[in-house]
């Protein structure tokens, strides 16, 4: 399955604090609905330069949050991109001011379906308005403005984070100097939508879902666990699953009964059971729906849409065994950028880890990102 990954020996950003920005004015959403106010959970790493020209925004994937790196006081759990963010790492916090925020619709501090509805004082549940990737970006921009930043050196992320990064250069090209979408796409395919729908149906089919009004009750833990199990299968590759599990039995002999007899069955159950302890089922519905709605080409060709980003440089990264967001989707982005005359670098990293590679192949990613950002920082704004 390739060379085993070695945890970085570089220094960590250390203890960090999650902060909260509350935008008290109504936020207009793409659906036409209004969000009366938005709270955004975010973390920052490094120091903003006096000229405010070294800010990097990191966007998380489906189940991520604001905690990209470092450790919270009293909690040793590392951030979701721990090996990519810190002194001497890809997003070097001795050079860059790195920002990571939780998306709206989420459940890790930003306003979402589990947040109290100001009109009732009770959790929104399904009364929370449907949000899109574009809405997530617009709220992120409010945060960036709150931090006093007019120009981002880079926006980057993997999977859904890459979608947000692309939406940034389309919606606010004047604000973004460079973009690094990793293992991502410019629109969800039918297959990607299909997998998300299976997960949503698992949640909504759980009697404990209670039409989204389960707060104060046990909640649809089995449905959410199954959704995560299905999702996790898509994050791995056939080869990685074969090499990790094969047909290994948990016990030495078959029991001829409906229990988790194979190691892979037990692993999926563990992943599902762990997930329900840290994620809200309604947020899973809202975020997967936002991903399915994502399509930069609803009104124009990809080339025309990306034409707005002529001043941005791009590093597009995909992985050879990623069948959830296959390389052809990244290549379509690269082709459109090249036809526009954009400065774009593309790399398909050979990996057996499937879609999870964007979280695991940090050695190769670091080489690419470090060189790319050094050049962007050195050359400065071109337009």
CA angle 376, 356, 138 (to 5 degrees): 55
Separation between Cα atoms, residue 107 and residue 32, nearest integer Å: 23
Backbone angles phi, psi at 206, to 5 degrees: -75, 120
Q: Exactly one of 322, 327, 352, 356 is catalytic; which is it?
A: 322
Backbone angles phi, psi at 348, to 5 degrees: -100, 115
DSSP string covering 89-119, please? SSEETTT-EEEEEPPTT-SSSSS-TTSBPTT
* Residue 277: exposure state from Cβ atoms within 10 A (0-12, 13-18, ≥19): exposed
CB atoms within 10 A of CB 20: 13
Closest by alpha carbon to 281, among 199, 373, 169, 370? 199
Q: Exactly one of 23, 60, 67, 355 is catalytic; which is it?
A: 355
Q: Exactly one of 115, 156, 159, 177 is catalytic; which is it?
A: 159
* Residue 251: exposure state from Cβ atoms within 10 A (0-12, 13-18, ≥19): exposed
- Within the chain, residue ranges assigned H as helices are 133-146, 160-171, 190-204, 221-235, 238-244, 263-275, 281-293, 302-306, 327-339, 357-360, 362-379
- Provide the sign of the torsion angle of the four alpha carbons 157, 201, 354, 320, taken in this order: negative
Q: Over the Cα atoms of the chain, what is R_g?
A: 21
User: Is 67 considered catalytic here?
Assistant: no
User: Is 322 considered catalytic here?
Assistant: yes
- Any idea how long the chain is? 383
Backbone angles phi, psi at 95, to 5 degrees: -115, -35
Residues with catalytic roles: 159, 322, 355
């Amino acid at each position: 399955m390739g060379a085993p990954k070695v945890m970085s020996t570089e220094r960590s950003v250390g203890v960090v604090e999650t902060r909260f920005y509350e935008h008290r004015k109504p936020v207009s959403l793409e659906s036409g609905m209004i969000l009366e106010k938005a709270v955004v959970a975010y973390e920052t790493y490094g120091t903003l330069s006096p000229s405010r020209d070294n800010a990097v925004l990191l966007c998380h994937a489906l189940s991520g949050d604001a905690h990209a790196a470092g450790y919270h006081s009293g909690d040793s759990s590392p951030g979701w991109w721990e090996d990519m963010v810190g002194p001497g790492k890809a997003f070097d916090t001795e050079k860059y001011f790195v920002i990571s925020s939780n998306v709206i619709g989420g459940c890790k501090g930003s306003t979402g379906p589990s947040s109290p509805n100001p009109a009732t004082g009770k959790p929104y549940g399904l009364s929370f308005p449907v949000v899109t990737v574009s809405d997530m970006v617009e709220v992120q921009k409010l945060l960036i403005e709150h931090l006093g930043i007019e120009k981002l050196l880079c926006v980057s992320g993997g999977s859904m984070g890459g979608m947000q990064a692309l939406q940034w250069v389309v919606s606010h090209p004047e604000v973004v100097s460079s973009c690094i979408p990793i293992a991502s796409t410019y629109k969800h395919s039918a297959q990607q939508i299909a997998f998300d729908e299976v997960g949503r149906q698992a949640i909504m089919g759980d009697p404990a879902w209670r039409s989204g009004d389960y707060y104060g009750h046990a909640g649809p833990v089995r449905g959410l666990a199954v959704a995560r199990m299905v999702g996790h299968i898509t994050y791995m590759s056939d080869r990685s699953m074969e090499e990790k599990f094969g047909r290994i039995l948990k016990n030495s002999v078959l029991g001829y009964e409906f229990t988790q007899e194979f190691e892979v069955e037990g692993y999926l159950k563990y992943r599902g059971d762990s997930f329900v302890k840290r994620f809200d089922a309604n947020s899973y519905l809202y975020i997967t729906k936002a991903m399915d709605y994502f399509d930069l080409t609803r009104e124009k060709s990809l080339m025309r849409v990306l034409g707005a980003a002529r001043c941005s440089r791009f590093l597009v990264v995909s992985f050879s065994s990623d069948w959830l967001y296959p390389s052809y989707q990244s290549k379509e982005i690269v082709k459109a950028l090249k036809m526009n005359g954009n400065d774009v670098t593309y790399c398909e990293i050979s990996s057996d880890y499937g879609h999870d590679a964007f979280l695991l192949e940090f050695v190769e990613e670091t080489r690419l990102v470090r060189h790319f950002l050094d050049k962007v920082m050195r050359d400065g704004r071109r337009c």
